[in-house]
Amino acid sequence: MTNPNTSISRVSYRLLRGRPSPLVTVDLFHDHQQVNLEAYVDSGSYYSIFLADVAEALGIQVQAGRLTYLAGSHGQFFALHLDRVGIRIADHRFTSEVGFSSQSGIGFNLLGRYSIFNQLRFCFDDRHNVLDISQYHG
């Protein structure tokens, strides 16, 4: 049985058009490259989706990644290429398989469940507009 780490990082929601929203600052690492960006923690999204530009900054060949297809809530399909990267959120570091796409049609980067939510535990506190993050070990 795994227990969540006792170290909990608390992040205040960011205001997007006046709406408090769970955005976190994420560092991505790949091949001695690092980028720092904000990502929307989306528990409804299966995969994490980062913009293709992010892959380019990390030196990742997007087309070389494992290809999968996603369906959006409006029924549209788009290609997603999965690659393994290093991630740091607060003091939590781990590797994860995330997707890169230039076709998602949204400006935000999304942190989805696959390969992320099994390593980090997110507690959405919409009453106080804070997000608690802790890391599983073992």
Partner 1 sequence: MTRAKAKTVRETRVAYRARPVRPRARRAARPRAARQIAQPVISVSARQAATWQQSLRWQGWLNEHAREFEEKNPGQYLAIWDEQIIATGNTWGEAYKAATATRPDVIPLVTYIPRAEDVPFLLTPFPVEWVK
Tell me the three state secondary structure of residue 2: coil
Regarding 125 and contact with partner 1 (CB under 8 A), the answer is no
- The answer to whether the Cα torsion of 16, 57, 110, 95 is positive or negative is negative
If you ran DSSP here, which 8-state letter would residue 76 be given? -
Q: Are 4 and 134 in contact (CB under 8 A)?
A: yes
Q: How many residues bind partner 1 (CB under 8 A)?
A: 52
Please tell me whether residue 57 binds partner 1 under the rule CB under 8 A: yes
3-state DSSP assignment of residue 42? coil
Whichever of 64 and 91 has its CB closer to partner 1, that residue is 91
- Interface mask toward partner 1 for 17-56; x: CB under 8 A: xxx-x-x-x-x----xxxxxxx-x-x-xxxx-x-x-xx-x
Site for partner 1 contains 134 (CB under 8 A)? no
